[in-house]
Structure 1
Amino acid sequence: MADSAFIPYEAYSFSEEEMKKRAHALFEFMDHRRTVRDFSDRPIPGEILEQIIRIANTAPSGANKQPWTFCLVTNPLIKQKIRLAAEAEEYENYHGRMSEEWLEDLAHLGTDWKKPFLEIAPALIVVFRKAYDVVDGKKKKNYYVQESVGLACGFLLTAIHHVGLVTLTHTPSPMNFLQEILGRPDHEKPFLLIPVAFPATNVMIPNIHRKNLDEVLFYY
């Protein structure tokens, strides 16, 4: 096994009281995060978009392989192509591919096959997962790819919320059209399509509730 270089870890240190305050404050902040589908077309500074992707890139990954690619799409023509392709797939989903149970579960969210937000949002972040990398023409395997990219997307959503922007996680299925439109290599597969925007004026969102802690936490 190759030797690894190590550096000192500089730990944060807080009093127990401060830890509690920080934990409660972060919960209140994150509990306010919601999926939004009504966007403003107000431009987002490129520096902010790059920074939230930089934050996502700090996520942990199997063997530190970082098996992700983030494609930042702001070109209106490319956004239009993505919208049309996504709507074509979603039309099929809502008119035959999805089960009745699935459609019933979506009904309270008010969604349908039309996705105008893909053009209205000033930016789309398309996240790709990489089963392997290609280095000097040779395949280099990646590990725990789904888990790693999922973690990076969680960091990304948190960063988007942190700077005052909104988003939703869009997963048109199948998503191969994203690979084709963006010209990504064969070893990159679409994982999530994430529009990023300021919220539109007077946005309404579904009145949903998160599970209580006693429904998701078990002590041993």
Structure 2
Amino acid sequence: MEHTNPFVPYAPDRYDEAEMIRRGREFFEHVDRRRSVRFFSDEAVPRECVELAVMAANTAPSGAHQQPWKFVLIGDAETKRRIRVAAEEEERQNYEGGRLTPEWRTALAPLETTSDKGYLEVVPWIVVCFAEKYGLRPDGARVKHYYVNESVGIACGLFITALHTMGLSTLTHTPNPMAFLSEICSRPGNERPYILFPVGYAAPDAEVPDLTRKPLDEALVHF
């Protein structure tokens, strides 16, 4: 088949049925051990680990291959404190100020979350993923991006999985509204905050809610 644009051969690995199932089960068991963490150690984490997780995120499929994401890595103590203060201010409006609806409070109750986000100063790294609403050419002209939310969501999923694979923990923190992150991280107007990730080792005494995940027969429908 002739192409107008450059193409390269692609030959993904193939396995027999038993090996496919073994590898799939092994991967499921690996990711099934992943949990969102709110109790972190202040132990240092190599910067390269976060960079590798972002490299994994960069392998995500995206609309028209426009890769509409930007990851901002923060390790400076003062910046982490600014983020904590701003995040807690927004969260107090949610938890103590009445922005959370009764239904939302009921849904959150099993997690026992509060407006206290002290872990943002404990972790060695904070990573903020920004979604690029549109691209910018060197001359300032806008470039339309397609399927931004879907693309960035997939990239963030790979980022989380890569951290877990390296033995690190994180949490998908989405303080609402998140505009303060654009200011603190000095991001341009074509980007909007998508998810804030505290990144580090789980604290030795970390606890997580005793939750169960949706079983296969509720997640999968056969036709």
> Same fold, TM exceeding 0.5?
yes
Aligned-partner Cα distance in 2 for 1:123–1:18: 37
SS of the residue corresponding to residue 126 of structure 2 reads strand
Aligned-partner Cα distance in 1 for 2:217–2:16: 27
**1:47 alignment partner in structure 2:** 48
**1:31 alignment partner in structure 2:** 32
Aligned-partner Cα distance in 2 for 1:179–1:63: 25
Aligned-partner Cα distance in 1 for 2:11–2:164: 27
Once the 2 structures are TM-superposed, how far is the Cα of residue 204 of structure 1 from its aligned partner? 1.3
**1:219 alignment partner in structure 2:** 222
Once the 2 structures are TM-superposed, how far is the Cα of residue 3 of structure 1 from its aligned partner? 2.4
Aligned-partner Cα distance in 1 for 2:200–2:14: 35
Work out whether 1:147 is the aligned partner of 2:150.
yes
Aligned-partner Cα distance in 2 for 1:73–1:46: 10
Work out whether 1:178 is the aligned partner of 2:181.
yes
**1:75 alignment partner in structure 2:** 76
Aligned-partner Cα distance in 1 for 2:56–2:12: 19
Work out whether 1:162 is the aligned partner of 2:162.
no
Aligned-partner Cα distance in 1 for 2:193–2:4: 34
Aligned-partner Cα distance in 2 for 1:16–1:215: 25
**1:201 alignment partner in structure 2:** 204
Once the 2 structures are TM-superposed, how far is the Cα of residue 100 of structure 1 from its aligned partner? 1.3
Alignment-mate amino acid for residue 217 of structure 1: L
Aligned-partner Cα distance in 2 for 1:53–1:170: 17
**1:62 alignment partner in structure 2:** 63
Q: Deviations over 1:12-33 (max 9, x none)?
A: 0111111010011011111100
Moved more, 77-86 or 136-145: 136-145
**1:123 alignment partner in structure 2:** 125
Once the 2 structures are TM-superposed, how far is the Cα of residue 202 of structure 1 from its aligned partner? 2.1
SS of the residue corresponding to residue 204 of structure 1 reads coil
Aligned-partner Cα distance in 2 for 1:64–1:209: 35
Aligned-partner Cα distance in 2 for 1:199–1:6: 43
Q: Deviations over 1:192-212 (max 9, x none)?
A: 001111010121111000011
Aligned-partner Cα distance in 1 for 2:111–2:189: 35
Alignment-mate amino acid for residue 152 of structure 1: A
Q: Deviations over 1:31-77 (max 9, x none)?
A: 10001100000011111111111111110000000000000010110
SS of the residue corresponding to residue 108 of structure 1 reads helix
Calculate percent identity across the aligned residue pairs.
47
**1:99 alignment partner in structure 2:** 101
**2:137 alignment partner in structure 1:** 135
Aligned-partner Cα distance in 2 for 1:209–1:129: 31
The Cα RMSD (Å) is: 0.9
Residues paired across the two proteins, number: 219
Aligned-partner Cα distance in 2 for 1:74–1:142: 30
Runs of 4+ in structure 1 over 4 Å off? none
Q: TM-score, normalised by structure 2?
A: 0.96
